[in-house]
Structure 1
Amino acid sequence: MTTTRSLALILACVFAFSRHGHAQCVDMVATLDDGQLMQSRIALIDRATPAEQIRILAYIFEIDQTGGLLLRHLVDAARRGVPVKLLIDGIGPEPHYPFEDELIVALHEVAPGVELRIFHPRSDVVELSHRMHDKLFLVGDTAVIGSTSIWDESFRNWLSERDLMVSGDARQDASSLHAMYQHFALFWNSPQVVRPEPEKFLQVASPYRVSQGHATLDPVRIRYWRERLQAPLDGAARATDLAATDTPAASDTPNDPAWTPIACERLRYVHDWPDKRSPGTLQDMLDAFDTAQHEILIINPYLILVPELREALERKRREGVHVILVSASLASITQEFPAVGRAYANDLPGLVNAGIEVREYADRENRMMHAKLVLIDGHRYYLGSFNFDSLSARLNTENGLWIDIPEDGLDPLQDSVAYFLRNSSSVSDANGRLLADPDARCRAVGCGGAWRWVTVLIRGFL
């Protein structure tokens, strides 16, 4: 990564001084495909110095092979003196926090430099539907944003993701890095966040542990996590873990992304407030659609449009704007949750009748598409966490980056768009008629029967 980044930095400096003879703010952007997701993050963590910071917002941080490996590298960084702050959404496999209590205690003992906070723990029933869906991975002067959560589904070739790596000077107000650090601080210090207190865990009875036959915490589990967090990471172990985690042939140079310098004025980082106040990312998306003159392309796994989004797209279609929606396949959506598949199938006739081109993604590996991209008029991109459903529009906090590519500029995302279009097919024929009946398709993949009626009742929560 260092060589290519150095060359890109030279280009960025030339670019910054070339137009007006004085310095302007320039960030560097690189697309990460599925084969670069893990190794790029580990490289950032391992090169971090005590003078830098590691700041992570994670919707999912599962302690499976992926999350366990990343946490192990974060522990190493903290023990080198690198400040690490990890903020995780409260939904997870455990009854109170997304990490089990014994892991939190062991993490506090082994690496007290890792600070952990939780956004709306699951025990906060009132806010159960309000999730932090943001995805932000900040290390020093570099960030990773996009669609990827920290779990095996994203890193072991089960989902097709797309992330961006962004590098800049966070000390410059105009840099997107500055906005990202502000975003992290806003959430880290918000009243929606709680700090687990591991120093008290051993003194407090845990109802979950009582159900497992322990009066308090399980000392065997604490010892297990302590040993796992301190296990050596030698070169062979790193190579084995990385090979098992990343897509084998997705990239020839997984640690060497292609950097593109872009003027900061052409980048705009967006995010919601922790309390999901208006105007937020939904209004930002609607405002962007209003500017479209020729084409709107949306690549998103969940196309269950709230009325405002659907009305905006249909209005632009009536104005002559070509609207293309690329969805995950009905089969993959239904496999995740049948009601989501049913809601999407219910909407298909109306979308196609409105003149909107709907396509579904399918690749040779049978992965579900999970990337979240928007392209307006061929030059204005969005990449981030926003889904085109009620959860992102109404309940969950989201984040992303808008990129306006100059007419003669390099386009870091054109290959990604081409890939998803190439691996998708239209659900309608040249005359705008559906190729297959949505009801019949649902019956075939598992969203038929009772799901037709259940979905009507719960659509607002999908």
Structure 2
Amino acid sequence: MDGVGIAEASGTFTVAAMIWALTIALAYLVSWAAIPHLLLQHKRPLASLSWLLGLFLLPFPVLPLYLFIGTDRLRRQRLARRPPPDHHGEPVTVTSEKDPCMASLAALAEHPWAKLENPRFFSKGAAFYEDLLEKIESARERIWIQFYIWKPDERGRLMLARLVQAARRGVEVRLLVDELGSVETKESFFKPLREAGGHFSWFYTVHPRRNRFFFSLRNHRKIACFDGAVGYIGGMNVGLEYEGKDRETGEWLDLHLRGEGTVLEQLETVFAEDWYFATTERIRVRAGSGADVGGGFPALVVESGPDERYERNHLALGAVIGAARERLDLFTPYFIPTTELIHHLALAALRGLRVRLVICQTSDIRMLIDIGRSYYRGLIMHGVEIFEYTAGVHHAKALRMDEDWFMIGSTNLDVRSLRLNFEANLYGRDAGFRAELDPHLDSIFEHCERIRPEDLEDLPLGRRLREGALRLLAPIL
């Protein structure tokens, strides 16, 4: 190469180096500029420290990640999205002297215990969808439905077609879906419902025109209400996989609850709040929602989300665990516990309760299983019994305590559900309903492998390193 060529190459290299250096410097400046925003969010100290070190030392991978999942608290007034509901029927009055745990949950929920009547649970998608379709076809006044995932498959198309038919016959149909949970479903998929006179909306945690860029937040609730008379709450979404018809996921076990009674007003209120958040349209929980027709048992809907003053379902879970006297079983597909949850479970076991935790052995995200397993040793040492479900996918989110308490809802035992997601759970107390639910919950253990202390001895070094490294991500997941 002659002198001119060398000079040109040297000049080109110098310019490229300068551009690269300026890019790096800009990345560091922008990353460091995000640090005050981080500090003002008042995250947990460990999570803040993790983000702080990442932003300070590794701006290129961490800054986009922080912008995508790190901004997790909504800046809005809670009352601005809550249409004032009209209460009907005679709520079950509970005082702290009568039952401190029930009083604690009512205080967290900010409404009194109500009544659940004619309950029925579903553990299989086929039976759940059949029942849901019957209610859609028989609805006369209104249908309010929200799901986290709505697949554009055969099941999703059939469900949508029935909603379209209901809208055409004059029923008020409102469908609310989380756009990130249903990322593979295009908005045009729901166009027939709008054309038929129905209403559809994404939840819109990401909405540039409203200055919303909360990529990490999800509306994980699965609620359906019909004519102010029947309601559903639980863990199932809409798709063939929930019927066990997806080749990749295989057999699917879940839990969803249907019921009537005054508690339905609480379900409709949750939907009305979410609909207002998504659309700014205020809809009212009409007179007669969940009318008290006699009978039933105490029930309470506890909603939680990043816009609330309290981590309601996190605190409610701690209250129930602390109130247990004999036994406690928890069912979850994902397990990335908070420090507080670990302490609650360990203390319950140490004071003599039989505490059993059922976790799905398989997951679409392998690292979540590894993170959860990194907590096994400490919990087992304190007396918690851990079981892994092996007969397919176990997606139920449930709890049973002593002889009459139960909870069915959408909350996983992970940091995201307990602190970030919009969730809704129904707590209830009734020995009669538990007599129906318990055989199903008992049967789950027949398809589980119990993790024993000896199973955690002499684990391969690679697995221990992987679990230990992934566990560092738990505070920011």
TM-score by length of 1: 0.68
Shift of 1:265: 4.8
Per the alignment, do residues 438 and 392 of structure 1 end up closer, same or farther by CA in structure 2, a change over 3 Å counting?
farther
Pick aligned residue for 1:345 from 360, 363, 373: 373
1:183 aligns to what? 270
- Asked if structure 1 preserves the Cα contact closer than 8 Å seen for 2:119 and 2:433, the reply is no
Shift of 1:93: 5.7
Per the alignment, do residues 388 and 401 of structure 1 end up closer, same or farther by CA in structure 2, a change over 3 Å counting?
same
Shift of 1:155: 2.5
- Listed one character per residue, the Cα deviations across residues 72-96 of structure 1 (whole Å, up to 9, x for unaligned) are 11111111111111111120465xx
Give secondary structure in 1 for the equivalent of 2:203.
strand
Per the alignment, do residues 150 and 266 of structure 1 end up closer, same or farther by CA in structure 2, a change over 3 Å counting?
same
- Distance (Å, rounded) in 2 between the aligned partners of 1:312 and 1:372: 18
2:451 aligns to what? 427
Shift of 1:311: 0.4
Pick aligned residue for 1:118 from 194, 199, 203: 203
Q: Does 1:139 align with 2:233?
A: no
2:176 aligns to what? 87
Question: Unpaired segments of 5 or more residues in structure 2?
Answer: 1-113, 282-292
- Asked if structure 1 preserves the Cα contact closer than 8 Å seen for 2:115 and 2:299, the reply is no
RMSD: 2.8
1:416 aligns to what? 440
Shift of 1:286: 0.8
- Distance (Å, rounded) in 1 between the aligned partners of 2:203 and 2:280: 6
Q: Does 1:164 align with 2:257?
A: yes
Shift of 1:59: 0.9
Give secondary structure in 2 for the equivalent of 1:81.
coil
TM-score by length of 2: 0.66
1:400 aligns to what? 425
2:76 aligns to what? none
- Distance (Å, rounded) in 2 between the aligned partners of 1:93 and 1:33: 22
- Distance (Å, rounded) in 2 between the aligned partners of 1:373 and 1:188: 26
1:376 aligns to what? 401
Per the alignment, do residues 67 and 269 of structure 1 end up closer, same or farther by CA in structure 2, a change over 3 Å counting?
same
Quote the sequence identity (%).
23
1:390 aligns to what? 415
- Asked if structure 1 preserves the Cα contact closer than 8 Å seen for 2:121 and 2:256, the reply is yes
Query: Rg bigger for which structure?
Result: 2
| Structure 2 counterparts to residues 55-454 of structure 1, below 5 A | 55-92=144-181, 94=183, 99-109=185-195, 111-121=196-206, 126-140=213-227, 141-157=229-245, 158=250, 159-168=252-261, 175-190=262-277, 193-194=278-279, 263-273=295-305, 275-329=307-361, 332-333=362-363, 336-363=364-391, 367-406=392-431, 411-428=435-452, 433-435=453-455, 437=457, 439-440=459-460, 448=463, 451-452=466-467
Shift of 1:458: 2.1
- Listed one character per residue, the Cα deviations across residues 252-295 of structure 1 (whole Å, up to 9, x for unaligned) are xxxxxxxxx99555211211256243141111111111111111
Return the letter of the residue paired with 1:27: E
Pick aligned residue for 2:473 from 451, 458, 462: 458
Q: Does 1:32 align with 2:118?
A: no
Shift of 1:452: 3.7
Shift of 1:453: 5.9
- Asked if structure 1 preserves the Cα contact closer than 8 Å seen for 2:148 and 2:178, the reply is yes
Shift of 1:449: 8.7
Shift of 1:425: 2.5
1:248 aligns to what? none
- Asked if structure 2 preserves the Cα contact closer than 8 Å seen for 1:117 and 1:188, the reply is no
Give secondary structure in 2 for the equivalent of 1:418.
helix
Give secondary structure in 1 for the equivalent of 2:335.
coil
Question: Unpaired segments of 5 or more residues in structure 1?
Answer: 1-23, 169-174, 197-260
- Asked if structure 2 preserves the Cα contact closer than 8 Å seen for 1:345 and 1:439, the reply is no
